[in-house]
C-alpha cells in the first residue's frame, strides 16, 4: 500500500467492485467524481466491472500494489507441513464432536419443558372453558332473574343444561 495523498495524486475507486477506475484523477472531492474522466455521459463508470454509478466511487488516498513473491520448498518441507496439519486436525475434530454431543444434549433438555408445557395446556384448557361457561351462565341467569321477562323458566332451564354440558 503506497500513500499517494502527499503527491497530489487522486485515485478513483469503486466501492461496489473494489476496483481502481482512474489512477490520476484531477478531482479530490467525492462529490466531484461525476466529472471524472472514467464516468460516461449518463453518470456511470466506463472502467469498473459493474459499470456502477458515479456516487459509488470515492477518492482513495492509497494505491494498492500487487507484488509477486516466489519461494522454493522441498518435498520434505511440504510433507512436514502436511503431517503437522494432520496432527492438529485430530484435536479439532474431537472438539467438534464434543460440541455436537453437547448441542444434542441441550436440545433434548430444551424439548422437555416444551413437552411439559404442551401437556399442561392440553389439560387446563377444557377445565378453563368449563369454569368460564359456568361463570357466564350464572351471570346470565342472575341478570335474567333481575329483569323477570316472559319465558324466564325456559331460559333458566336451557342455561342450566348448558352449564351441565360443560
For residue range 18-52, list pLDDT tens digits in order.
Answer: 888 998 888 888 888 889 999 998 999 999 999 99
Gap between the Cα atoms of 125 and 132, Å rounded:
10
The band of 2, judged by pLDDT with boundaries at 50, 70 and 90, is low
* pTM (2 d.p.): 0.38
Region 89-114: mean pLDDT is: 82
Q: What is the residue extent of each domain of the chain?
A: 2-63
Q: What is the per-residue pLDDT for 45?
A: 94
Q: What is the per-residue pLDDT for 74?
A: 92
112 and 141 Cβ atoms separated by less than 8 Å: no
Gap between the Cα atoms of 34 and 58, Å rounded:
10
pLDDT at 100 over 80: yes
Least confident of 71-85, 113-127, 144-158: 113-127
pLDDT at 115 over 90: no
Gap between the Cα atoms of 113 and 99, Å rounded:
22
Q: What is the per-residue pLDDT for 40?
A: 93
Gap between the Cα atoms of 58 and 48, Å rounded:
13
Amino acid at each position: 500500500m503506497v500513500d499517494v495523498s502527499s503527491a497530489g495524486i487522486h485515485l478513483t475507486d469503486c466501492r461496489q467492485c473494489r476496483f481502481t477506475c482512474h489512477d490520476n484523477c484531477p478531482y479530490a472531492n467525492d462529490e466531484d467524481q461525476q466529472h471524472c474522466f472514467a464516468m460516461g455521459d449518463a453518470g456511470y463508470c466506463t472502467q469498473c466491472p459493474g459499470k456502477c454509478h458515479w456516487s459509488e466511487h470515492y477518492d482513495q488516498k492509497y494505491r494498492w500494489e500487487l507484488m509477486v513473491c516466489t519461494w522454493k520448498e522441498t518435498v520434505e518441507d511440504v510433507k512436514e507441513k502436511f503431517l503437522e496439519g494432520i496432527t492438529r486436525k485430530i484435536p479439532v475434530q474431537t472438539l467438534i464432536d464434543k460440541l455436537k454431543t453437547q448441542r444434542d444434549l441441550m436440545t433434548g433438555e430444551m424439548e422437555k419443558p416444551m413437552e411439559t408445557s404442551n401437556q399442561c395446556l392440553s389439560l387446563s384448557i377444557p377445565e378453563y372453558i368449563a369454569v368460564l361457561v359456568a361463570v357466564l351462565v350464572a351471570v346470565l341467569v342472575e341478570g335474567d332473574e333481575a329483569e323477570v321477562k316472559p319465558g324466564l323458566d325456559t331460559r333458566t332451564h336451557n342455561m342450566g343444561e348448558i352449564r351441565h354440558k360443560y
